[in-house]
A and B are shown apart, each in its own frame.
Chain A
Amino acid sequence: MDQLLEQLTNGLAVGSIYALIALGYTMVYGVLKLINFAHGDLFTYGAYLGLTLLTSLLAHDRMGLGLRLLLLAVMVMGLVAVIGVVVERAAYRPLRDSPRLSAVVSALGASIFLQNALMLLYGARYQVYPDVLPQNAVRLGDLSIPVVRIAVVAVSVVMMTVLYLFVQKTRIGTAIRAAAIDQGAARLMGIDVNKVVVLVFVIGPALGGAAGLLVGLYYGQIGFTMGWTYGMKAFTAAILGGIGNIPGAMVGGLLLGVIEALGAAYLSVAWKDALAFAVLILILIVRPSGLLGERVAEKV
């Protein structure tokens, strides 16, 4: 029983990171029907920029730690958003009217470029964040949960909720949803689709960058290839929840994390990924459009 509870908290912590990254995949797919393979690398950029900025912020001890971390998060999200917009402008927009395959290949190219650029800038070694977060844990009976882990889940949930409300309740959010349903019709209604696309490439990468920062702060070790593993998992989470669907990405991420943890606990550690992907296949057989995805007729 104790192991079950502990594994659930383990799974939720990993899952909330997957969910944050999955949002970037799902939003871009929703609007452009493009799988942004460079998204995992934008997440890595968030982690590296976070480390660079954190080092200089730590030198300013007149601000409280909380304020500094908030400032850090805002800067990292802003910078990664800028990179995201540049990637869209350079690698995707010129191919907007080309066959979809060209854009996917371009996305893979952008991913390889970003990853190797990062290696050349920072070197191939793993980088390590300084320990800035409190190390204490909350005790619940026999269960001890590190405070940081609770914070990671809380921060992710808050960001996801804000995004959900933004997309559902604001005018701009409505424009994003309209562009996702039908770009041509949205344009006829006076929506500037290009602006919507840019906005999607601001929000998605910003959340991905925030996830990178969280991973850096929480786990401490970052490497220039980490975007690949997280990207794959987050992409899976997005499909699991129904790609193109924002709450779906959140549910998919959390679910994937929990399945992995439980697989490691009760099946075999080595088989946890196999189990997670088996669940994905089963869900796709039963619901081809994902858990929360809507069945949309393919346009001919």
Chain B
Amino acid sequence: MKKSIAALALGLVSLAARADNVKIGLLAPITGSWASEGQEMKKNVELLVDEVNAKGGVAGKQVQLVIEDDGGDPRTASLAAQRLATQGVVAVVGTYGSAVTEATQNIFDEAGIVQVANGSTAVRLTEKGLKNFLRTCPRDDEQGRVGAALLEKMGAKKIALLHDSSAYSKGLADEINALLKAKKMNVVFFDALTPKEQDYSAILTRLKAAGPDVVFFTGYYPEAGLLLKQKKQMGWKVPFIGGDAINNPDLVKIAGKEAAEGFLFLSPPVPKDLDTPEAKAYVASYQKKYGEAPQSIYGVLAGDGFRVVAASIQATGSTTSGEKIRAGLGALKDFPGFTGKIAFNAKGDRIGELYRVYKVDANGNFVLQK
């Protein structure tokens, strides 16, 4: 009997201690095929939470980070989102893939939880009129515009578009296709590959038969790396362009330096090209803690997501109301994010041009094209 009273008392004490915290969720693909992105998201946000807590927390309270793994899979993600919603988080950072984020949007919206996605660029996510959804990454229609402009600038006459059927990849390919059609440019190939396979020679053979001057692949870096490598093995020299999901240094490791050289891709600036003083200091502290610089821009964008949420809680003083935090986020002007100035429009999209064009040089470095 005594023991159980003691346990109860202990429980009450720890409950009281917890009530002083503000809980912020992180939804990330810690496992699954995007696990490398997810684990960087976790590293970035954990580092920033520690920094904020060391400085006394937000609105006088310590931040407690609640991490859930979405496995890069919509079904797992909806369960993870429900778990987060029942744990009393006021805001959630994440997640990465658009299809995965889409599976969680309504769950958070109904629970009145603010969600700040970091890598989900599909256009429709912010076109649904969901009040509590925002994102720190740009949208695919902006990326589509930059991509179509690049193709036009290159003077391509016959263009091949290849996607991987995912919400992001197909969305971007459709976006570019529509823009090219509007400009009366000739799209000779539009089709999808199956992601996570190893052998894309059948697709490359088919592509080659269509005879394009340039191939735009809107998928992810593992497939892009293999495509480049196998294209070189075939002895085919057509230039390849990619979207922002290809921005990962592992691309060069997979393809090999020779095969990757000359590859162009669109992306928000990579971590090493972040030039604000805040970003430089941050990259240095990340390096100090983890022994390597951040590799993925989406991890840094998750970090920015956490920082805007923390700033909004600090500014509004509200640690419980999703509505107030959302209003606080909407009121941010020129917030000094690591990835540039951050402000959101009414839809929850980030304002401002973020996309740049990168080229892989002979040493496998990603060089910003001015």
State the A residues within 8 Å of B (CB).
3, 6-7, 10-11, 13-14, 116, 119, 123-126, 128, 131, 135, 137, 144, 146, 215, 219-221, 223, 225-226, 228-230, 260-261, 264-265, 268-270, 272-273
Contact between B196 and A126, CB atoms less than 8 A apart = no
Question: A124-B39, A269-B206 known; A229 and B197 CB under 8 Å?
Answer: yes
In the bound assembly, the distance between CA atoms of A116 and B69 in angstroms comes to 13
Contact between B254 and A128, CB atoms less than 8 A apart = yes
Q: In the complex, which residue of chain B has the Cβ closest to the Cβ of A269?
A: B191
**Contact stretch, chosen from B96-104, B221-229, B263-271:** B221-229
Contact between B33 and A223, CB atoms less than 8 A apart = yes
Chain B residues near A137 (CB-CB < 8 A) = 233, 235
Q: In the complex, which residue of chain B has the Cβ closest to the Cβ of A268?
A: B191
Known: A221-B222, A265-B205, A269-B192. 5 other contacts (CB 8 A): A11-B202, A128-B250, A146-B233, A221-B254, A229-B197
Q: In the complex, which residue of chain B has the Cβ closest to the Cβ of A139?
A: B235
In the bound assembly, the distance between CA atoms of A269 and B194 in angstroms comes to 8
Q: In the complex, which residue of chain B has the Cβ closest to the Cβ of A15?
A: B199
Chain B residues near A225 (CB-CB < 8 A) = 32-33, 196
In the bound assembly, the distance between CA atoms of A228 and B191 in angstroms comes to 24
Contact between B254 and A10, CB atoms less than 8 A apart = no
Contact between A272 and B234, CB atoms less than 8 A apart = no
Q: In the complex, which residue of chain B has the Cβ closest to the Cβ of A266?
A: B206
- 11 inter-chain pairs at a CB distance below 8 angstroms, sorted by A residue, are A124-B36, A126-B254, A128-B253, A137-B235, A223-B196, A225-B33, A226-B198, A228-B196, A265-B209, A269-B206, A270-B192
In the bound assembly, the distance between CA atoms of A119 and B35 in angstroms comes to 9
Contact between B226 and A219, CB atoms less than 8 A apart = yes
Chain B residues near A135 (CB-CB < 8 A) = 233
Question: A131-B256, A264-B206, A269-B206 known; A219 and B194 CB under 8 Å?
Answer: no
State the B residues within 8 Å of A (CB).
31-33, 35-36, 38-39, 162, 165, 191-194, 196-199, 201-203, 205-206, 209, 222, 225-226, 229, 233-235, 250, 253-254, 256
Q: Per a CB cutoff under 8 Å, which of B196, B202, B226, B235 touches A229?
A: B196
Chain A residues near B222 (CB-CB < 8 A) = 126, 221, 223
Q: Top 9 A-B pairs ranked by shortest CB distance?
A: A124-B35, A270-B192, A264-B202, A261-B202, A10-B201, A219-B198, A269-B191, A125-B36, A128-B253
In the bound assembly, the distance between CA atoms of A221 and B35 in angstroms comes to 16
In the bound assembly, the distance between CA atoms of A137 and B233 in angstroms comes to 8
Q: Per a CB cutoff under 8 Å, which of A14, A124, A125, A228 touches B31?
A: A124
In the bound assembly, the distance between CA atoms of A261 and B33 in angstroms comes to 25
Contact between B229 and A3, CB atoms less than 8 A apart = no
Q: Per a CB cutoff under 8 Å, which of A124, A223, A272 touches B194?
A: A272
Chain B residues near A123 (CB-CB < 8 A) = 36
In the bound assembly, the distance between CA atoms of A131 and B259 in angstroms comes to 12
Chain A residues near B35 (CB-CB < 8 A) = 119, 124-125
In the bound assembly, the distance between CA atoms of A260 and B198 in angstroms comes to 13
Contact between B254 and A269, CB atoms less than 8 A apart = no
Chain A residues near B191 (CB-CB < 8 A) = 268-270
Q: Per a CB cutoff under 8 Å, which of A13, A215, A220, A226 touches B196?
A: A226
Chain B residues near A215 (CB-CB < 8 A) = 198
In the bound assembly, the distance between CA atoms of A14 and B201 in angstroms comes to 9
Contact between B205 and A10, CB atoms less than 8 A apart = yes
Chain A residues near B162 (CB-CB < 8 A) = 269
Contact between B254 and A13, CB atoms less than 8 A apart = no
Chain A residues near B233 (CB-CB < 8 A) = 135, 137, 146
Nearest chain B CB to A51 CB, angstrom units: 12
Question: A137-B235, A269-B193 known; A264 and B256 CB under 8 Å?
Answer: no
Contact between B205 and A3, CB atoms less than 8 A apart = yes
Q: Which of A123, A128, A146 has the most CB of B within 10 A?
A: A128
Chain A residues near B202 (CB-CB < 8 A) = 7, 10-11, 14, 260-261, 264-265, 269, 272
Chain A residues near B253 (CB-CB < 8 A) = 126, 128
